[in-house]
A and B are shown apart, each in its own frame.
Chain A
Amino acid sequence: MSEYKFIGKPINRIDEKDKVTGAAKYVDDINFGPNLLYAEIVESPYAHAKILSIDTSEAEKVPGVVKVVTGKDFPYKFGLYMKDRYIFAQDRVRFIGEQVAAVIARDPKTAKKAAKLVKVEYEPLPAVFDPLEAIKEDAPIIHPELASYPHVPWYYPHGGTNIAHWRKVRKGDVEKGFAEADFILEDTYRIPRYAHCCMETHIAVGFVDYNGRLTIWASSQSPHTQRHLIAEALRPLGFTEQNIREIVPYVGGGFGGKAGVTMEIIAAALATAVKGHPVKVRWRRDQEFYNTYMRQQVITKLKVGVKKDGRITALERTDYWDAGPYVEYGANVVNAATLSATGPYNIPNIKMDGLCIYTNFPAAGPYRGFGYSEIMFSIESHMTRIAKALGMSPREFRKINGIKEGDPLAYGAPMNENGLIECIDKVADAIKLEEKEESKDPKKAIGKGIAALWKAPAMPPNVTCSAFLKFNEDGSINILVSGMEIGQGMYTVMAQIAAEILSVPPEKIRVELPDTDRNPYHWQTVASHSTWLLGNAVKRAALDAREKIFDVVHRALNYEKDHLYLEDEKVKCTTDPDFELPLKDFVINGIMMEDGTYRGQAIVGSGSIMVEFASALQDPETSQGGHPNVHYTVGAGGVVLEIDKETGRVHILKLAEAIDVGKALNPETLKGQLIGGAVQGIATALYEDMRIDENGKILNPNFTDYKIPTSLDIPDEFIPIFVEVPQHDGPFGARGMAEHVMIPVAPAIANAVEDAVGVRVKAMPITAEKIALALLHGKKEVDDFFMAPTKKKEA
């Protein structure tokens, strides 16, 4: 086994000094000078309505107001995968909170005051919130022009309905598969909406200088994609990628919510209306709930057939996703999730349908897990239920069906190398799954549960990542990338990769935050693909620089390039043990020859990569053919929990997770990410409970009423486990894992709750209230779903 110097080591984060001193600048910390203006957005109070008229005259009269704009000023559409959204509403609003107009003023208080004076006349239209209602024949149609919307080739919108995209997966013969089964379990699961709750709310500042150049500072996961989408939308005003620049400083959390484009385009558009002034748009916490992506609500009808020996013979499912009124990003969640909605199992006969449905809730889209948290809740609840029905251990049942390298995926391509079975075993062992434990407190019961997971990066097949690397006089290095440090510790890992190849310690490497003018292209920091893909780009850049270093030494000193190697910031030679040349002596200034001339160049390297084996072209009726996913990362999670039988309150005693990361490049940051993601999983399972009224209004858009975990809500013990089955095309064998850690937690908890008290909760979240009421009324199954109470029909 090769020994690495920096790879696989718990290197400290390179951004930590900034963050521990308060020096780290986030967008709102930047001083934009006295010319800065502030925008207040006028938002729709209706979930679905026609805009009859907008009167801005009173608002314009308020002293300090610079300009008031409406949709008429920006009749431009945008969208990442489908263009179905306007910057400001045109003649119709489709959710509460939709942007109708904006007041730009010299200070926030004035903007807010004036925004109240904008008079908008609406004609309310019937709205629809339940995805099952929305696909009925007589449902109000939210986008009558759906059929004409431009979209990527792997979307299948159904014009004239509310179905924005319908992904179908067919393999084998499900009827035959169910006929062969000895046991069939069929049920419905329901998952509500969730909010990302980054501690930093969305913020963007736009600025058009007198030269006509647009600069955007944003809290973003996607500087290049935002620049491109904003350029596309604002083309009629003369903007191109060339004269738009996006700068992204530190970001206070993303989790998918700051991917694609949401409010950034508003700041960009407003800046075009007040040349020479930077304009700031910052969401208040309640706006953050409405006006960024949420996680989609989904209703799953699932049917699985098995033989007595535990082999799954057939799986059929339909997922009804509520994506809100704009699916320009969210439909891709549905697409990605449906292709993998079997879970990590080898199943011969499959029929799966994923329907992405327009509703009048706020727009939903990417959130840590990208649909997998949702599909895996139903699958992994089902797996344990079937195992128990067969009298089998949930561990054994998963191992029998668990997918292995080379097994065919639902869409036909073969599964990649993976350590799924090892992960399942390690987690089951860590929590002693098969050993029943009794609580010392007779009022409490202890339960155990596990769940497997998998997830592939969901990306278009032609995603590119690139990196620049340059040496400085002292032999230190700057790396320029446009992957975002949103908290995951990516820059530290990029430094480690370059450090390993160039033998320069990570503390002498800076990785720079993106500026689209200077840093090379990176699609978006999403899909947990940065370690894998950007890591490869950084590796290539480092190898490129190394090649140039050896070339200079060869030209100056005649050593064969093949004999040279790097160690301890020096060039050394295998054939001349006495030779060593410190990098700092020549990487900028070159090497002097006897005649006083120099050989050399300032050493720079570049690296870029595109996945050339992926393809999204599949048969629309079956999804067979193509290679939509580059690979999967697999794992498993397990919990031991204790339930108070009177209050229903759940306390997690132990949480174990094993993830096959290919190679743990930095075990310390991985551990932090695993624990953080697991707690986010616990949050969705036990605490977060979004309530929306029958008009589509969120009743708890704040942290008083929408509970995310505090330090008092975490498990007593965490057991993070990393399995390392190398990814053949990963940097040092690594693959990504950021989102994955959230996925198994909710189903593992549901399974443990049933194990403890015999109550199967099929509608998330698994609140204390649901458990306590079930126990009180002797109910074995809980379907209660509280999110949007529908109006009581007149009898």
Chain B
Amino acid sequence: MEKKTITFILNGEKRTIEVEPNDILLEVLRTKLGITAPKYGCGRGDCGTCTVLLDGKSVRSCLILAVEVDGHEITTLEGLSKDKLTPLQESFIEHNSFQCGFCAPGMIMTATELLKKNPHPTEEEVKEAISGNLCRCTGYVSIIEAILDASKKY
């Protein structure tokens, strides 16, 4: 297959790379670019561990081809953490919102989008927003609390 050159903004930096037309964004981020916060949990859009922001909107990077992000902007958890932690990240720490932590990168990206769109969500809105991000460890309660608490700081 013929390789394609794509250029996009990754966590604030312009990147140009060669990919195959059927390369999945998640794997390209992880293996070609060393961006490992987005995780493989299912590879078919069911679990949300691979969630990243595409032009500010949360998407599942396991369902997107790398060529699709040509000319766009991608933000991963690494991008949020660059200078200092966001109030949302601080709140996740305060509320002990992780156990194994594998769902965290996707969960935080989804919550970041939520708080941007809706800075003061209700508990129901928080539950609804993260319902596509599976967590097997925490039972979600501490995550919901962290997001609600963080929303007070926006």
**Which residues of A does B touch, CB under 8 Å?**
12-13, 15-26, 28-29, 31, 196-201, 250-255, 282, 284-285, 486-489, 668-669, 672-673, 675-680, 702-704, 708-712, 714, 718
A200→B92 contact, CB < 8 A: no
Taking CB as reference atom, which chain B residue is nearest A720? B141
Are B93 and A12 closer than 8 Å at their CB atoms? yes
Pick out which of these stretches binds chain A: B2-10, B32-40, B63-71. B32-40
- Number of CB contacts from chain A to chain B under 8 A: 157
Residues of the A chain whose Cβ atoms lie less than 8 Å from the Cβ of B143:
711
Q: Are the C-beta atoms of A22 and B36 separated by less than 8 Å?
A: yes
Q: How far is the CB of A263 from chain B (nearest CB, A)?
A: 15
Dominant secondary structure of chain B at its interface with chain A: loop
Checking A252, A672, A711 against B102 with a beta-carbon cut-off of 8 angstroms, the contacting residue is A252
Contact A29 B36 (CB under 8 A): yes
Count of chain B residues near A, Cβ 8 A:
50
Contact B138 A675 (CB under 8 A): yes
How close is A613's CB to chain B, nearest CB, in angstroms? 32
Known: A285-B44, A703-B46, A712-B128. Is A199-B96 also a contact (CB below 8 A)? Answer: no
Considering only residues 79-106 of chain B, those with a C-beta below 8 Å from chain A are: 81, 85, 89, 92-94, 96, 98-105
CB closest residue in chain A, given B142: A672
Q: B36–A704 contact, CB under 8 A?
A: no
With CB as the reference atom, state the residue of chain B lying closest to A23. B81
Check A487–B100 contact: CB distance below 8 A: yes
Do residues B100 and A253 form an inter-chain contact, with CB atoms below 8 A? yes
Q: Please, how many angstroms separate the alpha-carbon atoms of A574 and B141 in the complex? A: 46
Contacts A487-B137, A678-B139, A714-B139 given; indicate if A26 touches B102 (C-beta within 8 A): yes
The residue in A252, A254, A678 that gathers the most chain B C-beta atoms within 10 A of its C-beta is A252
B78 at the interface (CB under 8 A from A): yes
Separation of A486 and B139 alpha carbons in the complex (Å): 16
Q: A680 vs B127: C-alpha distance in the bound complex, in angstroms?
A: 17
Across-interface contacts of A254 in B (CB, < 8 A) = 100
Is there an interface contact between B41 and A201, defined as CB atoms closer than 8 Å?
Answer: yes
Q: Check B72 for interface membership: any CB of A closer than 8 A.
A: no
CB of A711 within 8 A of CB of B41, answer: no
Residue from the list B36, B47, B89 in contact with A199, Cβ < 8 A: B47
Contact indicator B93/A198 (Cβ below 8 Å): no
Question: Which of chain B's residues have a CB closer than 8 A to the CB of A18?
Answer: 101
A23 to B100, CA, bound (A): 13
When the two chains form the complex, which single residue of A668, A680, A714 contacts B136, counting CB atoms closer than 8 Å? A680
B71 CB, min distance to chain A CBs, angstroms = 25
Q: List the 5 closest A-B pairs by CB distance, nearest first.
A: A22-B37, A252-B102, A487-B100, A487-B99, A19-B101
B131 at the interface (CB under 8 A from A): yes
A12, A250, A673: the one contacting B101 at CB < 8 Å is A250
Query: A489's closest neighbor in chain B, by CB?
Result: B99
If A20-B89, A250-B101, A282-B40 are given as contacts, then 8 extra A-B residue pairs at C-beta distance below 8 Å, sorted by A number, are A21-B85, A198-B100, A672-B99, A677-B139, A702-B46, A703-B134, A711-B143, A714-B140
- Residues 32-62 of B, flagged 1 when their CB comes within 8 A of A and 0 if not, give 0010110111111011010000000000000
- Contact code string B103-140 (vs A, CB < 8 Å = 1, else 0): 11100100000000000000000111011111111111
Return chain A residues, CB-CB under 8 Å to B144: 711
Give the residue of A22, A26, A673 whose beta carbon is less than 8 angstroms from that of B99.
Answer: A673
**Contact (A675, B136) CB under 8 Å given A199-B47, A285-B43, A703-B47:** no
Report if A669-B102 is in contact (Cβ < 8 Å); known contacts: A21-B89, A704-B44: no
**CA separation between A21 and B108, bound complex, in Å?**
9
The answer to whether the Cβ of B151 comes within 8 Å of any Cβ in the partner chain is: no
The reply to whether B127 and A711 form a contact with Cβ atoms under 8 Å apart is yes
B28 at the interface (CB under 8 A from A): no
- Chain A residues closer than 8 Å to B138, beta-carbon distance: 672, 675-676
In the complex, what residue of chain A is closest to B143 when comparing beta carbons? Answer: A711
B15 adjacent to chain A (CB < 8 Å): no
- When distances are taken between beta carbons in the complex, the residues of chain A under 8 Å from B139 are 672, 675-680, 714, 718
A711→B81 CA distance, assembly (Å) = 25
Is B77 part of the binding interface, using a Cβ–Cβ cutoff of 8 Å?
A: yes
B92 to chain A: which residues have CB within 8 Å?
16, 20
Contact of B96 with A252 in the complex, beta carbons under 8 Å: no
- Contact assessment for B136 and A199 in the assembled complex, using a CB-CB cutoff below 8 Å: yes
Give Cα A592 to B131, complex, Å: 62
Q: Once bound together, how far apart are the Cα atoms of A709 and B126, in whole Å?
A: 15
Q: A488 contacts which chain B residues (CB < 8 A)?
A: 99
Instruction: Return the contact of B39 from the options A26, A196, A708, A712 (Cβ within 8 A).
Output: A26
Complex CA distance for A677 and B94, rounded to whole angstroms: 21
Chain A: which residue is nearest B1 at the CB level?
A: A109
CA distance A668 to B140 in the complex (A): 15
Contact (Cβ within 8 A) A676 B99:
yes
A572 → chain B closest CB, angstroms: 33
Asked if A199 contacts B100 (CB within 8 A), the reply is: yes
CB of A16 within 8 A of CB of B98, answer yes
Q: Is the CB of B104 within 8 A of A711?
A: no
Q: Is the CB of A712 within 8 A of B96?
A: no
List the B side residues contacting A12 at CB < 8 Å.
93-94, 96
Best-surrounded residue of A17, A23, A200 (most CB of chain B within 10 A): A200
Least Cβ distance of B33 to chain A in Å?
A: 11
**24 residue pairs A–B, Cβ–Cβ below 8 Å:** A12-B94, A12-B96, A13-B98, A15-B101, A16-B96, A16-B98, A19-B104, A21-B78, A22-B78, A22-B81, A22-B105, A28-B39, A29-B36, A199-B102, A200-B100, A253-B136, A285-B44, A285-B46, A675-B139, A675-B142, A703-B42, A703-B46, A704-B46, A711-B127
Tell me whether A199 and B135 are in contact (CB under 8 A): yes
Question: What residues of chain A lie closer than 8 Å to B89, measured between beta carbons?
Answer: 20-21
In angstroms, Cα B42 to Cα A489, docked, is: 25
Query: Known interface pairs A13-B96, A714-B140, A714-B141. Does A702 touch B44 (Cβ–Cβ under 8 Å)?
Result: yes
Take A702-B46, A708-B134 as given contacts and tell me if A200 and B142 are in contact as well, using a CB distance cutoff of 8 Å. Answer: no
Please name all residues of chain B whose beta carbon is closer than 8 Å to the beta carbon of A710 when the two chains form the complex. Answer: 130-132, 134, 140
Q: Which residues of A contact B44 (CB under 8 A)?
A: 285, 702, 704
| A595–B30 alpha-carbon span in the complex (Å) | 60
Find out whether the CB atom of B41 lies under 8 angstroms from the CB atom of A200: yes
Q: Report B-chain residues with C-beta under 8 Å of the C-beta of A31.
A: 34
